[in-house]
Amino acid sequence: MASKRDYYEILGVSRSAGDDELKRAYRSMAKKYHPDANPGNKTAEEKFKEVNEAYEVLKDGKKRSAYDQFGHAGVKAGSAGGPGGGGFSDFGDMGDMFSEIFEGFFGGTSGRSRGGTQSRARRGSDLRYDLTINFIDSAHGTEVNLEVPRMETCDSCQGTGAKAGTRKKACSACQGTGQVRMTQGFFSVMRTCPTCQGEGYVIEQPCMVCRGEGRKRVIRKITVKIPAGVDTGSRLKISGEGEAGINGGPRGDLHIVIQVEPHLIFSRDEEDVLCEVPVPLTTAVLGGEIEVPTLNGRVTMKIPAGTQTGKTFRMRGKGFPNLRGLGTGDHLVTAKVETPTKLNSKQASLLKEFEKLTGNDAYPVVRQFLDAIKRL
C-alpha cells in the first residue's frame, strides 16, 4: 500500500504556516480540484479528498501537534472520527467555507448574503429604441412622439404580485432567506431555494392582472426632443423611462439610437454638409451666379469665370451644429460643369467658330496633358 503524502506538501505550505496561510492555500487547492470543476476526473477527485483531509488536520491545533510529532499515525490514534476514520469533526466550519467558495457550482450567486437578498429591490431593465429621422431634422433638431412598450408596476397589486387584499408569505422551505443548505457527500453548500426561487416568499393567491409578477406590459407614450446635429449612431439617454423596478426598485433608462435617412442632394462629413451643383457651361466659362440649396433654404452663389468641374466652394457656418457646442460646420459646394447637348446647327456653327478663335490656349489643362504625352 502506498504511503500517504505529507499534509504540508499537499497544501503547498511550510511547517511554520499560520492559520491564515493555511486557509488561503486550502481555498486555492480545493477550488482547483473540486469535482464540479473537474467532472469525471478521478485524479482531481482524489486530490480534492487529500486537500480536505490535510486541512482538517492542520487547522486543528491538537491534531496538528499530534501530526507534527507522530505523523499520520499520531492523527489516527488521536481521533477515530478524524480523516483516518473517513469523517470530519468540525463539519459546520467546513460547510461555511464550501458555501463561500463553491456556491457557483450549485446555482448560487456570488456575493449573495443569507438574508434573502434575492427579494431585495432591483433596478428595472434599460430599454433601447431605434429611431429613424430625416436629414433636415437631424440638422435642425426635432420633437418626436414615441410609443415604448415596457413593464410597469401593476396598479392592482401595487407591485406585490399578490391578489388585492392578500399578502406574500415567507417561504417555509428557507424561512424567508431565499437559500437552503444542501449537503453533498462530505461537504455542504448554500444554494437558491427551489421552492421560492430565491425570493424568500411565496404568493398563495396571485394577482389576476399581472399573474403574480408584480408588473404588467403597457405602451408608454412619451415626447422626446432630438437635438440639432445628431447623426446615425448618436445615442440619447432618457433617465427613468426604462422598465419599472422590482420590489420597489428604481426604473431603468431609455436609450434612443438614431438612424438618419439619406438625402437626395446632401451628404455629411462630420459637421460639414456636402453637395454637388450642376453649373451651365456658359456660366462656368464666363462667370455668373447660381442658386444653391442649403439646410436653411436656397442662396445665391457667385461662380468665377473659368470654373472647372470639381472646384469646391465653401460657405462657412452653414453646416451642422456640433453636439458639444463646439461651433458649426460649413457647407461645401462642388461644381459639376454641364456640357450642352442637342445643339442646333447655328449653335454648333458658333461653337466651331469659337474653337477656331481659341485653339488650345484657352484650355490650359488640355495643353499640359498634350505636353506630357510629348515628353513620354
| pLDDT score of 359 | 67
Q: Contact 50/10 with Cβ under 8 angstroms?
A: yes
- The reply to whether 109 falls in a domain is no
Q: Of the candidates 116, 124, 123, which has an alpha carbon nearest to the alpha carbon of residue 196?
A: 116
Residues 285 and 235 in one domain: no
- The reply to whether 114 falls in a domain is no
- The reply to whether 300 falls in a domain is yes
pLDDT in tens, 162-174: 888 788 888 888 8
By mean pLDDT, which of 12-21, 46-55, 73-82 is the weakest?
A: 73-82
> How far is Cα 184 from Cα 38, in angstroms, rounded to an integer?
16
- The reply to whether 297 falls in a domain is yes
Supply the range of the domain harboring residue 25.
7-89
Residue 115, C-alpha cell as written in the block: 438574508
| pLDDT score of 360 | 66
Residues 218 and 274 in one domain: no
Angle between helices 42-58 and 61-70 (to 10 degrees): 100
- The reply to whether 235 falls in a domain is yes
Number of domains the chain contains: 3
- The reply to whether 95 falls in a domain is no
Q: Which residue has cell 488650345? A: 360
Q: What are phi and psi of 41, to 5 degrees?
A: -95, 100
Domain containing 169 — which CATH number? Answer: 2.10.230.10
The pLDDT mean for the chain works out to 80
65-67-68 Cα angle (round to 5): 65
| pLDDT score of 64 | 85
- The reply to whether 97 falls in a domain is no
Q: Contact 48/30 with Cβ under 8 angstroms?
A: yes
> How far is Cα 289 from Cα 30, in angstroms, rounded to an integer?
84
Residues 211 and 335 in one domain: no
Is the per-residue pLDDT at 270 higher than 50? yes
pLDDT in tens, 180-238: 877 765 566 778 888 777 777 788 788 878 887 778 888 889 999 999 999 988 999 98
pLDDT in tens, 54-92: 888 888 888 888 888 777 777 765 443 343 433 333 333
Residues 134 and 256 in one domain: yes
By mean pLDDT, which of 85-99, 295-309, 344-358 is the weakest?
A: 85-99
| pLDDT score of 106 | 42
Domain finish residue from 63, 89, 115? 89
| pLDDT score of 41 | 86
pLDDT in tens, 299-323: 889 989 888 889 999 999 899 998 8
Residues 77 and 132 in one domain: no
- Kindly tell me the number of DSSP H helices and DSSP E strands found in the chain: 10, 15
> How far is Cα 305 from Cα 286, in angstroms, rounded to an integer?
5
How many angstroms separate the first and last alpha carbons of the chain? 95
What is the share, in percent, of the chain residues with pLDDT greater than 90?
15
Residues 222 and 272 in one domain: no
Confidence of residue 333 (pLDDT cuts 50, 70, 90): very high
> How far is Cα 187 from Cα 87, in angstroms, rounded to an integer?
10
Residues 309 and 366 in one domain: yes
Is the per-residue pLDDT at 115 higher than 50? no
Strand partners, 202: 169
Is the per-residue pLDDT at 274 higher than 90? yes
151: helix, coil or strand? strand
Q: Of the candidates 66, 50, 56, which has an alpha carbon nearest to the alpha carbon of residue 9?
A: 50
Q: Contact 46/29 with Cβ under 8 angstroms?
A: no
DSSP state of 363: -
| pLDDT score of 2 | 56
Q: Which residue has cell 428595472? A: 124
Highest-scoring range by mean pLDDT, 22-26, 165-169, 352-356: 22-26
Read off the pLDDT of each residue in 243-260 and give the average, rounded to a whole number. Answer: 87
| pLDDT score of 355 | 77
| pLDDT score of 77 | 53
